Amino acid sequence: MGWSTRQLAELSGTTLRAIRHYHEVGLLAEPERRANGYKNYGVAHLVRVSRIKRLTELGLSLKQIAELGDADEHPEDALRVLDAELDATIERLRRMRVELAQLLRQAAPTDLPPRLGRAVADADVSATERSLAVVLAQVLGRSALDTYADTLRTYEPDPALTEFDHLPADADEQTRQDLAERMRLAPAVRKMLTDFPSFQDLSADAPRGEDFARRTLAEAALDLYNPAQIDVLVRMNR
């Protein structure tokens, strides 16, 4: 006298749905049926279901278990691969916890790397400059971002920078030229130009290359600044 599907599910600590699914995907052989037509499971089925349940709890997918075939009693190679994957996941989660602790402790923005986020928050830059920092974080390498964060830590508000933030698109040429000259003298701008005298210095370690960084930042500038502001930036960098 064997077990019904429900009894097998209860014995193995799984569900009716799971056992039916194991049948559907070919992981569990169909049992013989009793005279009344009901399935009649034996010990071999219990062993098989228990093994499948254990392997899935460890992290193997049903597809991986199926690929093991008869070697699923002790799939050493598959378990070693899984162990390496879990090790990488644990390390990733550890880094995430470190970042979360920093965010909670210092109320840094969540859309920026922790160090840069803290620098942006402390510098109290404009919303536009904050958005630009998000773009920079996506295209620049760690070295450039660290230098940029250090630059922001010495940020000093300046009337010229405030005027630039509110410069209308139809500002006349003389206004643009005067503003560009005054911005060059602003301590924050002078430090930025000193730290990054050329775009090559800014994008030297860009993960996806200098050309990608250049195009992305150019597109971001067109989105963030109006024509008069872009003209001022061009004049300032001449």
Per-residue tens of pLDDT for the chain, all 238 residues: 689 999 999 999 999 999 999 999 999 999 999 888 889 999 999 999 999 999 999 888 899 888 887 666 677 888 888 889 889 989 999 988 887 776 666 556 677 887 788 888 888 788 898 899 999 999 988 888 888 888 888 888 889 989 999 999 999 999 999 999 999 888 878 877 777 766 556 677 888 888 898 899 899 999 999 999 999 999 987 7
Distance CA 32, CA 42 (A): 9
Give the pLDDT of residue 1: 64
Give the pLDDT of residue 200: 58
Distance CA 129, CA 90 (A): 35
Give the pLDDT of residue 170: 95
* Spatial CB neighbours of 161, under 8 Å, sequence gap ≥ 6: 126, 183, 186, 188, 189
Give the pLDDT of residue 211: 87
Give the pLDDT of residue 164: 93
Give the pLDDT of residue 146: 87
Distance CA 135, CA 138 (A): 5
What is this structure's pTM?
A: 0.55
What is the residue whose two structure tokens read 């250090």?
A: 150
